[in-house]
Amino acid sequence: MTHPLIARLETDLGWPRLATIAELEAFTHAPGLHCLFVPGDPVRNLETADAAVILPELRQAFQDAFDCAIVDDAIEARLREATRALKTPGFVFYREGRLLGDIQKIRDWDDYLTRIAHILSLTEA
């Protein structure tokens, strides 16, 4: 069962849930900047719910500079291995198919702002 705060990202904000590698590649290769929300297990990791609340606020703080999607359990382990973003919850950033960077675990707000500004300024990882 999906945690209610993660479900809200889909139902209220319209974020897609990426359940296949093909969906993930289509999303991350689209023009623009993209953030993948890698939730992890919300039952075992209480930070997952916090991340589900923080990411929409971060997107707003950056004036919708990036779009967001949720990585489904079906492909989460594969994405984490491929990006080396092993700790959850995590945010993995792409620009038109290129991995730019990631932020793992919950951080202070200022740390998020600094890290995301840096990641978004990159042209390649």
Per-residue pLDDT of the chain (125 residues; tens, 9 = 90+): 789 999 999 999 999 999 999 999 999 999 999 999 999 999 999 999 999 999 999 999 999 999 999 999 999 999 999 999 999 999 999 999 999 999 999 999 999 999 999 999 986 54
Tokens read off for 100: 């730019």
Domains of the chain: 4-121 (3.40.30.10)
Beta bridge partners of 99: 94
Q: For residue 59, give Cα distances in angstroms to 37, 49, 83.
A: 12, 16, 21
Enter the pTM of the model: 0.95
